[in-house]
Amino acid sequence: MKGTKYSQVWNLDNLFPDGNISFQFQEHIKYLETKVCNLEKELSHLNTPQEINESFKVAELIDSIEHIRINLSQSNSYITCLHAQNTKDQTSSILRGKTSSINARFEIALKKLQKTLVKTDHQLWEDMLDTEVLSSYKFILSEWRKKATLLLTDDEESLVSDLMLDGYHAWGQFYHSLIGSLKVSVQIDGETKELSIGQAMNLRSHPDEEVRKESHNTLEKVWKEYEEQFAKILNHIAGFRLQVYKKRRVENILEEPLMENRLKEETLNSMWKAVSKNKQPFTKYLNQKAEMIGDTKVKSYNFWAPLRKSNRKIHYEEAVHFILEQFSKFGTEIESFSRHAFNNGWIEAEDRPNKSATAFCASFPMSGESRVFMTYGDRITNVLTLAHELGHAYHNHAMKPIKGINRQYPMCIAETASIFTEIIILDAALEKAGSTDEKLFLLDEKLKRSVMNFMNIHSRFLFETRFYEERKSGIVSTSRLNELMQEAIDEGYEGSLDNVSIHSWVWTPHYYITKTPFYNFPYTFGYLFSLCIYAKAKDKGKAFEKDYIDLLRDSGSMSPEDLVMKHLGEDITSETFWEKGIELCVRDVEEFITLTSS
């Protein structure tokens, strides 16, 4: 942008020039097809290992798999970025179809290898894992062996994978295309503006209540108009997933998300128990805020509202400088990395039509880069989103020296890294607050995040769990989806939120992510875990950055339980661990009540 040092438009050309007509990208796809074809041929001759020296062959296959995975990630991320920057780009959808087909073949090949390895004699398997060529992959290979016990026959897995392309994953892609194509008209400062869903959602934190209310009501009308279409999408995604579970004899709908997060159910239950027991302070915060606004309960469209009416804008360049300044206080590497990202076109933040509504970070492991996508709207919430996505990018950066398949970390740890950087920025802003009003404004922003993770995310978990249980018996109607959402929000917020959006199931994209089921609890996990990490960082200062990088680098080769025990010496299967993080947030509530009562 003119007049600013940092561009708000990213650079994708150094990845693959010429966008959706890139010749280099077409060649990349052809290369991928060849590599997957070669892997399929190798696996067609693979037999169950009988001798320990076959460890070398397994190691060679792992190298091939990781090479393909890195190349696939590069292509998938590129297509995701193309579509996000312009949801009307039909060519990117065609390209996604090509890479999805390659990805499906790759997944079939990977499952075939896993099924072959699971047949290996137990003692021989243990001996193979102790060999020099496989010992560094011990955790991942053991995980593969466990996953293989749930797999169907090769032909059945191949059929499921093929059907996913134009069924399961296609429904998820259709959701993003549909919601990305919608437009709403909202009156701002006496002028009617046509906005994308992402732009309209940004108005949740607008200082003018009338703008927030109109945006909320306008969006609700759109959700109501399209609810049948979205209900069909959600039902078909869930139905497909449940049919596959049924075939694999998986009864617990949490089995896959827990396995993907490498998390014990005991850990998840302890976390939610701790959260459920400690919601009262946050209900008190919401009620206090409602009273200040002049309501008995906080209306949903006022939840993200600034506590004090303020027209102050945080321009993009100011946000960048503040983020870099605060990151430098934590460590030199994160500051240097983030500066490089801002200076080299890794960030797409421009506020313009036809962009996707969802912020994200995309990894490009071949080139060792990331891309951050968002719509920046000059508000503190946008600054925090930018910091959040940079946290994901920094995690990708930290994993660069890690070999092969040990780079794959679970979502609950991914969210830890992103929320950690968000906390750095929010706490820094609080420390710099020059007045009580400014401090209250920022403390309110901090508490909103606690409410989101303890109440909103819990309501999402409750909704998704109950929806899937009902979906086992057949299609869940639109009216029932609205009822389930209302019930989940009432329980999650303990009745402290008014005028709720019963169509939250429509506009929350996480319900429609086909590659990551139950993408809700990883946020709460990450939030509480990051609070504990942040407390350690505050105590140790800049020296902690090395410890933090070590933790991130272990995140792909350990369970969360073992990771936290190794680096923090804490048992996360215990409610006590989670209560420590919650207690830090309760102190924020107490300070908020004190400041607003004086």
With a CB cutoff of 8 Å and minimum separation 6, the contacts of 286 are 297, 298, 451, 493, 496, 497
When pLDDT is averaged across residues 423-434 and rounded to a whole number, the result is 91
Statement: residue 373 has pLDDT above 60: yes
Give the alpha-carbon dihedral of 292, 293, 299, 301, to 10 degrees: -120
Statement: residue 29 has pLDDT above 70: yes
Q: Are 365 and 407 in contact (CB under 8 A)?
A: yes
551-575: per-residue pLDDT in tens? 999 999 999 999 999 999 999 999 9
Supply the mean pLDDT for the chain: 93
∠ Cα 334 336 338 (to 5°): 65
The token pair at 314 is 């945080």
503 in a domain, yes or no?
no
CA distance linking residue 202 with residue 221, whole number of Å = 17
129-143: per-residue pLDDT in tens? 999 999 999 999 999
118 in a domain, yes or no?
yes
453 in a domain, yes or no?
no
Q: Are 558 and 410 in contact (CB under 8 A)?
A: no
Q: Sort strands 369-373 and 347-348 into parallel, antiparallel or unpaired.
A: parallel
Q: Which of 74-83, 307-316, 506-515 has the lowest mean pLDDT?
A: 307-316
In the chain, the percentage of residues whose pLDDT exceeds 70 is 99
482-541: per-residue pLDDT in tens? 999 999 999 999 999 999 999 999 999 999 999 888 999 999 999 999 999 999 998 899
279 in a domain, yes or no?
no
Strand partners of residue 288: none
Instruction: Say what the pLDDT of residue 325 is.
Output: 97
pLDDT band at residue 309 under the 50/70/90 scheme: low
pLDDT band at residue 5 under the 50/70/90 scheme: confident
DSSP for 392-403?
Answer: HHHHHHHTTTS-
CA distance linking residue 374 with residue 85, whole number of Å = 9
With a CB cutoff of 8 Å and minimum separation 6, the contacts of 549 are 333, 398
CA distance linking residue 533 with residue 44, whole number of Å = 46
In the chain, the percentage of residues whose pLDDT exceeds 90 is 81
pLDDT band at residue 594 under the 50/70/90 scheme: very high
The range of the structural domain enclosing residue 71 comes to 19-166
Instruction: Say what the pLDDT of residue 410 is.
Output: 94
CA distance linking residue 366 with residue 25, whole number of Å = 13
When pLDDT is averaged across residues 282-301 and rounded to a whole number, the result is 93
CB-CB neighbours of 480 under 10 Å: 13
97-122: per-residue pLDDT in tens? 889 899 999 999 999 999 999 999 99
pLDDT band at residue 222 under the 50/70/90 scheme: very high
391 in a domain, yes or no?
no
- If you compute the radius of gyration of the chain from its CA atoms, what whole number of angstroms results? 24
133 in a domain, yes or no?
yes
∠ Cα 324 453 212 (to 5°): 80
Phi and psi at residue 358, in whole multiples of 5°?
Answer: -105, 125
446-474: per-residue pLDDT in tens? 999 999 999 999 999 999 999 999 999 99
Instruction: Say what the pLDDT of residue 354 is.
Output: 87
CATH of the domain at 86: 1.20.140.70
105 in a domain, yes or no?
yes
Instruction: Say what the pLDDT of residue 2 is.
Output: 45
Instruction: Say what the pLDDT of residue 4 is.
Output: 65
pLDDT band at residue 90 under the 50/70/90 scheme: confident
CA distance linking residue 345 with residue 388, whole number of Å = 17
Start-to-end CA span in the chain (Å)? 44
Of 68, 72, 74, which is closest to residue 366 (Cα–Cα)?
74
Q: How many CA atoms lie within 13 A of 252 on its CB side?
A: 8
CB-CB neighbours of 10 under 10 Å: 22
Q: Are 238 and 328 in contact (CB under 8 A)?
A: no
The token pair at 522 is 């990883």
pLDDT band at residue 1 under the 50/70/90 scheme: very low
Burial of 54 (C-beta count, 10 Å sphere; 0-12/13-18/19+):
middle
The token pair at 553 is 């680098």
Phi and psi at residue 360, in whole multiples of 5°?
Answer: -160, 170
Which pTM was predicted?
0.88
DSSP for 166-192?
Answer: HTHHHHHHHHHHHHHH-EEEEEETTEE
pLDDT band at residue 158 under the 50/70/90 scheme: confident
Statement: residue 96 has pLDDT above 90: no
When pLDDT is averaged across residues 544-555 and rounded to a whole number, the result is 96
With a CB cutoff of 8 Å and minimum separation 6, the contacts of 91 are 20, 21, 82
Burial of 251 (C-beta count, 10 Å sphere; 0-12/13-18/19+):
exposed
Q: Give the position of tokens 């191949």.
A: 158
Instruction: Say what the pLDDT of residue 586 is.
Output: 96
Number of domains in the chain: 1
140 in a domain, yes or no?
yes
